[in-house]
Structure 1
Amino acid sequence: MTRSKTLVFSFCFLLASWCNAAGKPDTAIIKAHLKALTKTPKYRTHQNVDQLNQTADYIRSIFKQYADSVYIQEYTVDQKIYKNVICSFGTSHTKRIIVGAHYDSCGEQEGADDNASGVTGLLELARLLKDQKLNYRIDLVAYTLEEPPYFRTEYMGSYVHAKWLKLNKIDVYGMVSLEMIGYFKTEKKSQSYPVGILSWFYGNKGDYITMVKKFGAGKFANSFTSGFKKANTILTKTFSGPTSLPGIDFSDHLNYWKFGYSALMITDTSFYRNKNYHQVTDTMETLDINRMAKVIDGVFKTLIKI
């Protein structure tokens, strides 16, 4: 390594260390993770197992820089091995909180908002959580196989993980799903809803992040939502509804509901706002990095205070 490269590396390391000490998400790091996750040789689909493995390796390499422990949860589907990547903080605690996001994409597209944004949230949370004093063990979990054709099946990475927790009688306080956290619009009529009348209550601008819960969400979901809103890092709205409402269970939290855990989803509302959903136009260039950082900041501040 040349002297100039050494100086640049040292500066970047010191900058990252300062940001961690300051407890603030770093937009440059967020952009770098998004680029690493989306600008890949192949797309992160269930067919491209080699690419999924490369993505899992990248996630694992970042987790290893910060976490108390890192491990891979492997399982087999159609004679192919798929991987959840898990890291833990505060391992002296018994009761744990799960924060998860899926790293696979739907079809031949980059999947920047869906769901490289959520995975980037996990990676940046790992940096921020290092050496923090916590009240619970926190497991960050990057899931595979959330997207079709495996959505709502026992082959979803989150189903495999939630089932493992239940079978092993792990003491889980609750779960947070980071599902599309990077797309925001301030124009009027940029936000739609499953029921039109909801615009009267929530407005028609897609400039907020949403805490999505089912009716009777449980103690953790309610406590986390309250803490996130108190953190006041970004305009936040809360939505509670029946599980039959379209979209309310469209992510990995649904599997924790199945096993009786209190869980919620943090989302920019997906296709109700982002028309790039499951399209080739879902690229990192469409994301609002500054607001995305504020979402991550809110999650971090809630986790260390809850």
Structure 2
Amino acid sequence: MISPKRLRTHVEALTAHGPRFADLPGVPACLRYITDELSGLGLAVRVERYGGELHEVNLVAEIQGGTSDDAVELCAHWDSVAESAGADDNASGVAGVLEAARALRDAELPARTIRFCLFGGEEDGFAGSEAHMAHITPRTESIVFEMIGYTAASQRFPDELTGFVEPPERGDFIALVADDPSQPLLACFAGHLRVPSMPLVLPEFAQAVAMRSDHVPYWESGRRALLVTDTADYRNPEYHRPGDTAETLDYGFAAGVVEAAVRTVVELAQ
């Protein structure tokens, strides 16, 4: 079981030093915290640099697979915008990856490598995940956590999806967003969820509304990736604002999302 309490502990630690942006103090504190947490689970942490600045870095850890060079990845971006400590965006996603790593570390040797990726530069045009594409095989599949902790009494939707989906009125679901090749990932994840969800395979005419996170380099390079999101500013009024703080999140909800991710990764890695 995924602990809501541990998720909150991670989010509070990741946001304690302020925004995780450029040369601000939150960046080295965040990178140390992630490294210490993964290392404490017995996982070796690899640094993927994609530039010369301290913040231009991805942190990657693996559970090695037994029979395949391909991997199943669970990903989140660790950076925030300069104006926000980013509890939901995206300390919630990082916390989810860390707790999934805890749950999976003692799994039987998988056929496919299980990889945990914490990307920098999402708020700078997906710089970290774009650079990561050079390190992975074409058949690597990814689940991307992009804000998984906020629930609300109301919900908005992009105008581009009017008539294509019947949007729920309450913001109490997790959205699972795939392009056409990534439908198998969506189906697998949806089958393991125990919290309300809205699965959505985006038609080509509407894909632009979802091109806002680290799944984008996967889709653009022809790889499968699933975006798992609480829908960001379509639900959370504190998106990219100082009010995006740890006490605003629903950790029981987030735990349900992470539990489904763990079960999905286990199935995909077999």
For normalisation by structure 1, the TM-score amounts to 0.80
CA–CA distance in structure 1, aligned partners of residues 264 and 198 of structure 2: 16
Q: Structure 1: which amino acid aligns with 2:228?
A: I
CA–CA distance in structure 2, aligned partners of residues 113 and 260 of structure 1: 28
The question of whether the paired residues in 1 share the 8 Å contact of 2:64 and 2:114 is answered with yes
CA–CA distance in structure 2, aligned partners of residues 70 and 243 of structure 1: 39
The question of whether the paired residues in 2 share the 8 Å contact of 1:184 and 1:206 is answered with yes
Which of 152, 158, 162 in structure 1 is aligned with 2:133?
162
Q: Structure 2: which amino acid aligns with 1:87?
A: A
The question of whether the paired residues in 2 share the 8 Å contact of 1:67 and 1:126 is answered with no
- How far off its partner does 1:162 sit? 1.3
Kindly indicate whether residue 182 of structure 2 is the aligned counterpart of residue 205 of structure 1.
no
The structure with higher relative contact order (CA 8 Å, sep 6+) is 2
Q: Secondary structure at the match of 1:201?
A: coil
Greater shift, 126-135 or 30-39, is seen at: 126-135
Q: Structure 1: which amino acid aligns with 2:128?
A: G
Q: Secondary structure at the match of 2:50?
A: strand
Kindly indicate whether residue 158 of structure 2 is the aligned counterpart of residue 194 of structure 1.
yes
Deviations 1:91-146 (A, max 9, x none): 33422012111111112221000000000011101100011123421111001111
Which of 191, 194, 200 in structure 2 is aligned with 1:239?
200
Deviations 1:33-76 (A, max 9, x none): 01110111x4211232x532221121111111225432111232
CA–CA distance in structure 2, aligned partners of residues 238 and 71 of structure 1: 33
- How far off its partner does 1:243 sit? 6.7
Deviations 1:228-258 (A, max 9, x none): 2221321111112227544311100101122
Greater shift, 98-107 or 83-92, is seen at: 83-92
Q: Point out the structure with max Rg over C-alpha.
A: 1
Counterpart for residue 116 of structure 1:
91
The question of whether the paired residues in 2 share the 8 Å contact of 1:97 and 1:139 is answered with yes
- How far off its partner does 1:198 sit? 5.2
Counterpart for residue 22 of structure 2:
46
Change (3 A) 1:285 1:91: same
Counterpart for residue 20 of structure 1:
none
The count of corresponding residues between Structure 1 and Structure 2 is 264
Counterpart for residue 7 of structure 2:
30
Deviations 1:238-290 (A, max 9, x none): 11222754431110010112222111200001111111110111111110010
Q: Secondary structure at the match of 1:172?
A: coil
CA RMSD of aligned residues (A): 2.0
Counterpart for residue 9 of structure 1:
none
Which of 248, 252, 260 in structure 2 is aligned with 1:298?
260
Structure 2 alignment gaps of length 5 or more: none
Change (3 A) 1:257 1:199: closer
CA–CA distance in structure 2, aligned partners of residues 90 and 291 of structure 1: 30
CA–CA distance in structure 2, aligned partners of residues 80 and 229 of structure 1: 37
CA–CA distance in structure 1, aligned partners of residues 238 and 185 of structure 2: 29
Kindly indicate whether residue 173 of structure 2 is the aligned counterpart of residue 173 of structure 1.
no
Kindly indicate whether residue 106 of structure 2 is the aligned counterpart of residue 141 of structure 1.
no
Change (3 A) 1:82 1:264: same
Report sequence identity in percent: 28
CA–CA distance in structure 2, aligned partners of residues 232 and 101 of structure 1: 19
- How far off its partner does 1:172 sit? 3.2
CA–CA distance in structure 2, aligned partners of residues 254 and 281 of structure 1: 27
Kindly indicate whether residue 204 of structure 2 is the aligned counterpart of residue 227 of structure 1.
no
For normalisation by structure 2, the TM-score amounts to 0.90
Q: Secondary structure at the match of 1:278?
A: coil
The question of whether the paired residues in 1 share the 8 Å contact of 2:185 and 2:224 is answered with no
The question of whether the paired residues in 2 share the 8 Å contact of 1:111 and 1:282 is answered with yes
CA–CA distance in structure 2, aligned partners of residues 173 and 82 of structure 1: 23
Change (3 A) 1:173 1:160: closer
